[in-house]
Structure 1
Amino acid sequence: MSFTLVPYPTLNARQKELRNFHKIAARLADYGFHSMWLSDDWQGADFLAVHIDGETVLRVQLKARMVLDKKYLGKGLHIAFRQGDRVFVYPHDELAAFVDTQGLIGEGAQRYHEHGVRHWPVLPGWAKEFLGPHEIKTAP
């Protein structure tokens, strides 16, 4: 059997989601996490990442980009997304607090104020400061 790479754009939405999960799970595995896909969102999580320390369990919502969503507030969720080869896993409520204290969502963010959701297809300059400690780097 020979293996043929499948280009990401040829995948349907569900296939893209699962591929992103496996890419992120592989990166987390280098840091001692075992990731388990949940067939149905559980308390807002798409998957669980359980650390080998036996204590740390991340409930993770998988996204295509950095997002802030009022429906996730107070649920202890992490948001995971890929940007090219980079992987980020950040605590959702920490992003909400950062954005609030820095005044980064003003009156002009109509969609957030009306629908409770804000996402960034392109990372804004301020995101580098917030996301830095939440990037899961490739193992050497």
Structure 2
Amino acid sequence: MKLQKIKYEELNAKAQEMFNFHKVAAKLADYGFTSMWLNNDWEGADFLAVHCDGSTFIKVQLKGRLSFSQKYRNKNIHICFISNGDVYLYPHDLILDKVESKISDKTWISQGTWSTSKLSVEFKKILTEYLL
């Protein structure tokens, strides 16, 4: 059998989500985590990352970009996304507290979600410590 790489852009949305999950899970393995996909979101999480120390686990929501949502507040959720090949994993509420005043479009509060596909220099700086 000869394996051929796929073109990410040609995958449907669910296949892209699974592709991204496996890329992220591989990266988290470097930090001692085993990742488990959840068939149904649990407390807002798409997957759990369990550390080899036996006591640390992270509830992760997988996104396609830097994102915030009112529904993730106070749920101890981490958001994970890939940008230009870089994997970011950040605590939703902590980073939201840092950037909320920097989001110029205030309608997001009533709409419930905000995201951006292009990371500004300022947002990259804030996320530096969350780059895996």
Normalised by the length of structure 1, the TM-score is 0.90
CA contact 1:48–1:57 (8 Å) conserved in 2: yes
The equivalent residue for 2:96 is 96
Aligned pairs (5 A) from 1:6-25? 6-25=6-25
CA contact 1:33–1:52 (8 Å) conserved in 2: yes
Please say if 1:116 is aligned against 2:112: yes
Aligned pairs (5 A) from 1:28-107? 28-100=28-100, 103-106=101-104
Residue aligned with 2:110, SS: helix
Structure 2 unpaired stretches of 5+: none
Structure 1 residue 84: Cα displacement: 2.2
Rounded to whole Å, the distance in 2 between the matches of 1:98 and 1:119 is 15
Structure 1 unpaired stretches of 5+: none
Structure 1 residue 130: Cα displacement: 1.5
What amino acid sits opposite 1:128 in the alignment?
Answer: K
Structure 1 residue 105: Cα displacement: 2.4
Rounded to whole Å, the distance in 2 between the matches of 1:84 and 1:15 is 19
Structure 1 residue 110: Cα displacement: 4.2
Structure 1 runs, 4 residues or longer, greater than 4 Å off: none
Residue aligned with 2:6, SS: coil
* CA deviations over 1:43-66 (Å, ceiling 9, x no partner): 100000001111210000000000
Rounded to whole Å, the distance in 2 between the matches of 1:98 and 1:68 is 12
* CA deviations over 1:18-67 (Å, ceiling 9, x no partner): 00000000000011000000011001000000011112100000000000
Q: CA RMSD in A?
A: 1.1
Residue aligned with 1:41, SS: strand
What amino acid sits opposite 2:74 in the alignment?
Answer: G
Residue aligned with 1:126, SS: helix
Percent identical: 43
Which shows bigger deviation, 60-69 or 114-123?
114-123
Which shows bigger deviation, 47-56 or 110-119?
110-119
The equivalent residue for 1:4 is 4
For these two proteins, the number of residue pairs brought into alignment is: 132
